[in-house]
Amino acid sequence: MNFPDNKKQMLDLAEKLGIPASELRSTIDVLSLNEVHIADMLPEMVVMIRSMIAEKTFTYRRKPMDMVKRGLLFSFQNIISHPSAGNQNTEKFTEAQPHVRITPFHLESEVVFPKGFMITQITILIELDFLRDFLGRARETFSYLFNDEKTFLIEEFMSPDMADLVSKIATDPASGILSEAYYKLKALELLYLLFKNLSERETVRYHSLRSDEIASLYRVRNAIAASVSQPLTQDELVRIGGMNVLKLRKLFTQVFGKGLYEYSQYLRIQEAARLMRYDRLSVTEAGYQLGFTNLSYFGRLFEQHFGMKPKKWSIYHRLKG
């Protein structure tokens, strides 16, 4: 499918969802859309698969959608440095971990498209009653998703299974009379993997979030991601967030599923894995570069995340290519 067709598909869907095409057109103009596939199964769900590269870094602010009154938007996103960008974007890797964001239709949300990165995104818009039926008896565990009186946002790291499935769906498009059935099946598979992850989160009381609180939490998250080699102190994060420490801890865990320290450690270990796999650093070099002075502790932490010691993991992935 060529670019004009891709562009038309997105604009047509935006109009149907109550998003003025004029608001989206300027965004599309700076995206190089490699692939766009849309499966419109309203009123139950819409599945949109996009693969694109941003010509410049820009931020798109999505307005509330009014086509489906009660629904959720799930955005599964892989972001990887594109070869044409050279190595200049490598340092931003930790800010672009594969992730999924969950927002209600009525919430304005902000999406950043970084220049020179290949972005593979699968967006699932799903009606709440359909989602409730899909979850069956498990819906009680996720009751916070169905509370219309609360404005929330949840972001979860994608598991390897989710990231692999996103890549497979994006690179192996379906066609023909069964294409909608294929995309519906794969979308539900993604949601199953996501809810499996969410079920393992620490149980918290979900509080409604204001837009300024969401912005503060992302400032803190981005600061953590930009400082993996020299982790920021709790006091520094509190100043960045502009809220007291108890509130910051509570809301950060609510949105990201991990505490401030746990989130930082997760990103450090992920970056260590990248340094060993792609930059060919040794275990010692990767550990020291990320500020781990105790390599035994680094090894134990790495094994907790990846299920094997860092040296064994590094050798395995180098042989795998």
DSSP string, 237-294: HHHHHTS-HHHHHHHHHHHHSS-HHHHHHHHHHHHHHHHHHTS---HHHHHHHTT-S-
Check if the beta carbon of residue 148 is closer than 8 Å to that of residue 70.
yes
Calpha distance 57→27 (Å, rounded) = 11
Please compute the mean of the pLDDT values over residues 5-13 and round it to a whole number: 69
Q: What is the pLDDT of residue 83?
A: 46
CB 266 within 8 A of CB 258: yes
141-190: pLDDT as tens digits: 999 898 866 778 999 999 889 988 998 898 888 888 999 999 999 999 99
User: H or E segment at 165?
Assistant: helix 160-171
pTM value > 0.75: yes
Residue 264: exposed, middle, or buried by beta-carbon count in 10 A (0-12, 13-18, 19+)?
buried
The gap from C-alpha 151 to its chain's centroid, in whole angstroms, comes to 19
Which CATH class for the 3-198 domain? mainly beta
What are the tens digits of pLDDT across the range 297-309?
999 999 998 889 9
Per-residue confidence (pLDDT) for residue 86, from 0 to 100: 45
Candidates 259, 309, 31; CA nearest to 9 is 31
Question: Residues 6 or more apart from 197 whose CB is under 8 A from it?
Answer: 156, 159, 162
Residue 116's region, left for phi above 0, alpha for psi from -120 to 50, else beta, is left
pLDDT band at 19 (very low <50, low <70, confident <90, very high): low
- Taking each helix axis as running N to C, give the angle between helix 310-320 and helix 260-277, from 0 to 180 degrees, rounded to the nearest 10: 50
Q: Which residue(s) pair with 47 in the sheet?
A: 39, 124
CA–CA distance, 156 with 223 (Å, rounded to integer): 17
In the three-class reduction of DSSP (H, G, I as helix; E, B as strand; rest coil), residue 80 is classed as strand
**What's the whole-number average pLDDT of the chain?**
84
**Fold equal for 3-198 and 212-320:** no
pLDDT, greater one: 16 or 211: 211
- C-alpha 255, offset from chain centre: 12
The pLDDT > 70 percentage for the chain reads 83
Question: Cα separation of 107 and 123, whole Å?
Answer: 15
6's enclosing H/E stretch is helix 3-16
CATH architecture under which domain 212-320 falls:
Orthogonal Bundle (1.10)
Structure token pair of residue 242: 């502009």
Placement of tokens 């047509």 in the chain: 12
97 vs 190: CA distance, rounded Å: 17
| Residue written as token pair 């999924």 | 100
For residue 153, the one-letter residue type is: L
Give the pLDDT confidence score for residue 117 in this predicted structure: 76
Q: What's the pLDDT tens digit per position in 66-101?
A: 656 688 999 998 866 544 444 444 444 344 578 999
Q: d(Cα 75, Cα 119) in Å, to the nearest integer?
A: 12
Question: pLDDT tens-digit profile of 244-270?
Answer: 999 999 999 999 999 999 999 999 999
The Cα 36–Cα 48 span in angstroms is: 7
pLDDT digits (tens, 9 = 90+) for 178-223: 999 999 999 999 999 999 999 999 888 888 999 899 999 999 999 9
- pLDDT, residue 95, reads 44
* Phi, psi dihedral angles at 77 (to 5 degrees): -135, 120
Q: What are the residue boundaries of the structural domains of the chain, listed by start?
A: 3-198, 212-320
